[in-house]
Structures are given as structure tokens and as C-alpha cells.
Amino acid sequence: MNILVRPLRESDLPLADRIFRLAFGTFNGLQDPLRFGGDMDKIRTRWLADPGAAFGAEADGALVGSNFVTHWGSVGYFGPLTVHPDFWDRGVGQKLVEPALALFEAWGCRHTGLYTFSASPKHLALYQKFGFWPRALTAILSKAVRPVERVGEASLYSQTPASERAGLVAAAAGLTDAMYAGLDVQREILALQNQGLGDTVLIWDDPGLVGFGAVHVGAGSEAGSGCGFIKFGAARPGPKAGEYFGRLLSACEAYVAAQGARQLIAGVSLARKPAYEHLRSRGFQPEVVGVCMHKPNEPGYHRAEAWVIDDWR
């Protein structure tokens, strides 16, 4: 079997999406594997966010798998990585990890990783071959939300005048940089706006921007129908971080409910005990638990002091 890894083209996306659902649906034992993920989208949205960071694997000329790489400044991660079940355990997955490592190098990422199934010996062994090491568990939680009258003292990126948006993106990068040098999730803020997938919720106090959340909502986003999903959320570090985090969550709940969502999904590393406990105290229930694997084997911003929501899925 000849395996060729190449950039993923727009014309590949329908098949890449099919393989993504089939692979996860099969691994998870779904009766109809193609129904995995419903109408949420992780393939077209990631390709549009950065077409140069999406790769496909061909076996004898036919697409059989894909992988997507995410650049968050000094941090990089990859996924979803999927291979058509007919081609599992024949080396395709490993071939699709290689371009991710090359991009991390080219981008100068100091901390890299991925999210995977914590109970799968195959997954842990596959990524360990490339130097990734499992650290803390990461929980995906969800909570039912109801529409509320007021979002509170929050604003939305989409309502910010165009002339102020670059400054906002820079302020968000400043906030994350204070948590982990060089961490910058501007790609998520811009993808929401450019692709109409949701919005970025902004929390303010005396020092300026003290929290933000990049939130997907509804069909065709990473959330899916009836749902909101906080892809990345952070509160400014310091003595008031917990208070800002609470305000951020209230605003995210109000925003997704106003968009018609009934459920809000958020992932968090269990290394961030205060953030996890805060989510639990607000009624978020864990639904799925996986593990983030890191290279190098260091915490990065997966630390107790980091009031961050993200899951690297």
C-alpha cells in the first residue's frame, strides 16, 4: 500500500468529514457510525481557519484520513486525526502525525499536544512514539441553560466597531500571554467572526479586558444544534481571577441561551482544580473524560493558577 500525505484541498472536505464521523463512530461503537457528532463540524471549520494546516492521507490514490493542526502562538496541538476504519493499524495515522510535528517546528511552538482517549492503549502508544506524554485528565462538561434578560457587564466581539477589533485581539493575546508566554488564540476569535460560527464574549473591569470566551453556537459550528461550546475561555490571572471567571461563565451562558441553545459545553483540564470546581459548583456535569498528552512533558498552562477553559479536541 502506497501512502501519500499531502495538503487537504477544499474538494476533499466532504469525504474527510465522512471519514471523521465513520472513524469516531466506529471507535465509539455507534450503531450508525456516520451519525457521530450530529450536525457539528470540525472539518470544514478547521480547514477554513487555516487551510495550510490541514493534511490528507491517500492510499493508492484515494483519501483515507486527515489531520488538522492548530497554532495558538507558542502552543500548538493537532486533531481531529482520523483514518478510515478499513485502513487502521497500517501506519496511516503515524504518517498524518508527521506534518503536525513539522508545523510545530516551523511555527516555533514551545509547548505542543493533543487530546485523546485516556483508556485506549493504542492511542497512548501511538502518540508516545512521537514523544507525547499523558498528563492530567481533561473533562468535557455540560450544563442546561435558560434565556436570561441581561448578559451583565459583558460585550461581544461582533458588536465592537471594526476600528477597535485589532486592539481587542491584541488585548486577548496580552491576557493569555500573562498566563503562558506567547499563548495566543486569535485564530479562534477570527474564525468565529469570519465563518459566522458564534462570537467572542468579553468581560471588562478597571484594568481593561479581564476575561474572554470564544464560543461556538449551533449547527455547522463545533457545538451542533441546540448547543453552545466554549472553545477557549480565560480570566486574567491575579487575585480576582476566580471572580472574572464566574462573570465570564455567566456571560457565556446568557449569550448561548439568547442564541437559542439549551446546553453549554466546556472542557477543562483537571490540573486546573479551581476552574474545574467552579464549573461543577455552577451545575456543569462531566460527560466525557479524556487525557491531554504533552510534548515536552511539562504542564504548560495546564496548571491550577490558570483559569482557562479549553480541551484541545
Give residues in contact with ligand COA (CB under 6 A).
Answer: 23-24, 27, 79, 81-83, 88-94, 114, 116, 121-123, 125-126
Helices 121-128 and 92-107, packing angle to 10 deg:
50
Q: Is 258 helix (H, G, I), strand (E, B) or coil?
A: helix
Cell numbers of 215, please?
A: 464560543
- Cβ distance 302 to 135 under 8 Å? yes
Phi and psi at residue 86, to the nearest 5°: -65, -15
Give the C-alpha separation, 41 to 37, whole Å: 8
Phi and psi at residue 165, to the nearest 5°: -70, -40
Helices 186-195 and 162-177, packing angle to 10 deg:
150
- The contacts of residue 245 (CB under 8 Å, 6+ apart) are 211, 235, 275, 278, 307
